[in-house]
Chains A and B, each alone.
Chain A
């Protein structure tokens, strides 16, 4: 009798261990799978080799340490002219590198475009305290003639371009497309990107990460010094809490507010935003949409209602956004010979 009891107890303990082990292994495996696999991500990459294209890295465009770009040129039958797609990296204006976007740059190159990833001087309190979104936008503007010239040197005549990016890169891409397009060495045909701040209105930025359906109203008696400090760091202009009451800050933010430069001649856009974004103001994207709508611009606006800055909970819609980018490229940046 006691032998049976002992065997039963042993069995219970063994199964207890099996349950705990199975839980831990499955939990960890499931978490890793969630982080590494996206069932909707298929089709946005290419097997890169010499038959697809060639890449040229770290080409200088200025005196700054960061002033470098990578260029990807397509292989195959030479065309009379090519469309250039510039994609600017993310990283909150303080981090990131053009190499982070190798995958998308190669993929777009495989579609027949010359593509380029451009670095810009990142803000850092000790190394680059004077860098800000405005100085970065100027670097991007100045880099473009070098990118086009390098492509020409390699035998790729550029006759049009599109510019896109992610987050900070998207903000810089929109600034180029809407503020600087008339100074571009080749005509800008469209812009695309995700979660880039397009404008800086205090009423939007006080609601970062809040419920998008219940935004808090701007209170002129409240202290928004934290937002003023962020605006100062981004624009390079001194913004104070008092300026929020008078509206004086808006003109000082204009140089980095792509939305404020949109007019009836502006280029088409495909953009994606997360409603619960904690790193940039979702409300700013609604103003961008309004500006595009008011000026009769051909645009596509994807609102990912369950996601934040990573657009991480709406993978299917993210894939739709990517396909729409490709569709717009086909329309506004047709590949020569197609």
Chain B
């Protein structure tokens, strides 16, 4: 595997993690203000 290929795979992983964390951050803030759980329910 070339170095560039490895870096692109890392980039994809970072994007997926950031997308999940972005949604979770909103959920955490909303839960803090209104109440709610971090797990369960609808992630989308």
Contacts and interface: CB of A to CB of B under 8 A. Distances in A.
Main secondary structure of the interface of B (DSSP, over half): helix
Given A31-B23, A305-B41, 19 more contacts: A19-B10, A23-B14, A26-B22, A31-B22, A40-B42, A274-B35, A278-B35, A279-B34, A304-B41, A308-B30, A308-B31, A310-B34, A312-B27, A312-B36, A313-B30, A313-B31, A313-B36, A313-B42, A316-B42
20 contacts: A19-B10, A22-B15, A23-B17, A26-B14, A26-B15, A30-B22, A34-B26, A40-B42, A274-B36, A305-B37, A306-B37, A308-B34, A308-B35, A310-B34, A312-B30, A312-B31, A313-B30, A313-B31, A315-B41, A315-B44
Contacts of A56: none
Which one of B3, B14, B18, B35 has the highest number of Cβ atoms from chain A below 10 Å of its Cβ? Answer: B35
A22 B11 CA distance: 8
Interface in A14-57: 15, 18-19, 22-31, 33-35, 39-40
B35 to A, nearest CB: 2
B41 A30 contact: no
Contacts of A145: none
Contacts of B14: 19, 22-23, 26
